[in-house]
Structure 1
């Protein structure tokens, strides 16, 4: 079933990135789909690996590891909001000539929104799960105890080894923060996230994230969005909770065409309930293609 999938790399301004693609040619009625993962210890395109194969026979797609994450290059460099926004746009420019549907989550969704505001012609639509800038409505994540700990020299690397880059920490985060039902966590998920978190240089991007270097106030940007956008939120998501998502959605009801809450699901519906996520994406793509 998955014989059409290919692993590829692309050299970008932030380093070499790894991605999976089916190498189909885009057409007007089947726009390219770009899948990007959210941020957290051990994150990679694996986050969408139970979803993107469902679209491989019909849509050209690219499931990418962001710079500093997954199998992409882990440079010891400055990781910033502007750098990641530019990176998303660079990948769109390099990998397709057609307006794309970007499917992503969490903090990466905030970067995609900023990219879509700056260059709306590059986007056919956005499909987002739990989008957040982590400092929305002027709430400064950088003042939290976790961010303060990650700013301390030497303490930050100890925190990474003990609090992120081991299977017990991965399992605990998934059970307490990521999933509504821990019974849905598979050994494969834990092993994959742990392996990525333990890869050389993985701490550079993760610590930039935990320090708050990548935070932004999404409420400042959303009113300026014009690209058709569909938002999915896990009812049991904790950071950020549904109430924040609903407040964000109310900032731009014209661009945000759907806000769907999935019961008994946490922060990553694409991992916890992939079949339902596939059905929602399929519905949203149908609506996008039917609109002028």
Structure 2
């Protein structure tokens, strides 16, 4: 996938009013092309060549998703290796246009970022780590451009539950989504489009959903506050409405995971509403896959950062020896 020209690729961030703080306190740059629009990335290219490959962190998709979801990992690795993160289209400081958001759009955004990061580091393959639904987009990118990825880490990936297995059987070999257009049409009625999302993203509602994600009442309060800020920006409902109406879920996510050729590390928790990994039997026997289970909810890096780091670093050591 060709990257944008220099004039297209980076824009001066101060050219538009920023109505919320960035999710990560790090240098940021913007990328853009006709398909993706404008996305914001975080991270700093070293002034001199370094030995470590760059790591790209990819957040999940929900009503309040941003690169903040990867903050604990970003803060840890930024002093140890080149690390980057991005706000996917429709989230954070990236464009929040009123359009249908699809796996194709999200995958193209990841590939746009990966191509640029690879270019900045001498056209080297990168390591990537994704969260939840972001794992499906990362896996699609990894199957389409395997030469750009050295390894892929998946935190609490979607697409491995019983509902996903049923959707895959219905889809057959078709590359389709689980979209329900009628749901999006109802949500997009101008009379209540913004008002409904405002109710959905009150502090009480966000806390409720985070408690279901963490599987306990004790959540990360910084994440809660940033979720509230980002969901009260213009256009904040556009991408989430594609999410809740199924447009962002691939019906064949499991096949994407099975097709990955690079070393893959997967970790998932056992608490909360996201613990159905019935379909992981399809990949856990593959020689390039390593799977770990942690006593956490769906955000293991917020609860047990040290264990996630130890597991990932061990995986990276093993991958380097392949």
TM-score class, shorter: 0.7 to 0.9
SS in 2 for 1:50: helix
The 8 Å contact of residues 47 and 270 in structure 1, kept in 2 or not, is answered as no
SS in 1 for 2:228: helix
Q: How does 1:94-113 map to 2 (within 5 A)?
A: 94-96=116-118, 97-113=123-139
Return the offset for 1:79.
1.2
The 8 Å contact of residues 26 and 59 in structure 1, kept in 2 or not, is answered as no
Return the offset for 1:191.
0.8
Aligned residues: 279
> 1-side partners of 2:102 and 2:275: how far apart?
21
TM-score (norm 2): 0.79
Q: Structure 1 residues 288 and 242, CA, compared in 2 at 3 Å: closer, same or farther?
A: same
Return the offset for 1:259.
0.6
Residue matched to 2:246: 212
> 2-side partners of 1:225 and 1:99: how far apart?
15
Q: How does 1:3-42 map to 2 (within 5 A)?
A: 5-12=26-33, 13-24=35-46, 29-42=51-64
SS in 2 for 1:46: helix
The 8 Å contact of residues 26 and 60 in structure 1, kept in 2 or not, is answered as no
User: What residue ranges of structure 1 are gaps of 5+ in the alignment?
Assistant: none
Query: For 1:151-193, what per-residue CA distance to the aligned partner results, in whole angstroms no more than 9, with x for missing partners?
Result: 4143654432212x22111100011x2102322x133221101
User: What residue ranges of structure 2 are gaps of 5+ in the alignment?
Assistant: 1-24, 171-176
- Over alpha carbons, which structure has the higher Rg? 2
Q: Structure 1 residues 30 and 197, CA, compared in 2 at 3 Å: closer, same or farther?
A: same
Return the offset for 1:42.
1.2
> 2-side partners of 1:38 and 1:45: how far apart?
9
Return the offset for 1:76.
1.6
More moved, 16-25 vs 226-235? 16-25
Of the candidates 160, 163, 171, which is equivalent to residue 197 of structure 2? 160
Is structure 2 residue 153 aligned with structure 1 residue 127?
Answer: yes
TM-score (norm 1): 0.86
Is structure 2 residue 292 aligned with structure 1 residue 260?
Answer: yes
Return the offset for 1:5.
3.7
Of the candidates 216, 219, 226, which is equivalent to residue 192 of structure 1? 226
Q: How does 1:42-61 map to 2 (within 5 A)?
A: 42-61=64-83
Deviation >3 Å, runs of 4+: 25-29, 139-144, 147-151, 155-159
The 8 Å contact of residues 52 and 81 in structure 2, kept in 1 or not, is answered as yes
Q: Structure 1 residues 149 and 77, CA, compared in 2 at 3 Å: closer, same or farther?
A: closer
SS in 2 for 1:232: strand
Q: CA RMSD in A?
A: 2.5
More moved, 8-17 vs 199-208? 8-17
Query: For 1:194-215, what per-residue CA distance to the aligned partner results, in whole angstroms no more than 9, with x for missing partners?
Result: 1111111111111111110011
Return the offset for 1:41.
1.4
Query: For 1:111-151, what per-residue CA distance to the aligned partner results, in whole angstroms no more than 9, with x for missing partners?
Result: 1111111111000000111212375213389589xx96554
Residue matched to 1:115: 141
> 1-side partners of 2:50 and 2:276: how far apart?
36
> 2-side partners of 1:110 and 1:9: how far apart?
23
Query: For 1:12-68, what per-residue CA distance to the aligned partner results, in whole angstroms no more than 9, with x for missing partners?
Result: 442222222132279685111000100111111111111122212231111111111
Q: Structure 1 residues 116 and 26, CA, compared in 2 at 3 Å: closer, same or farther?
A: farther
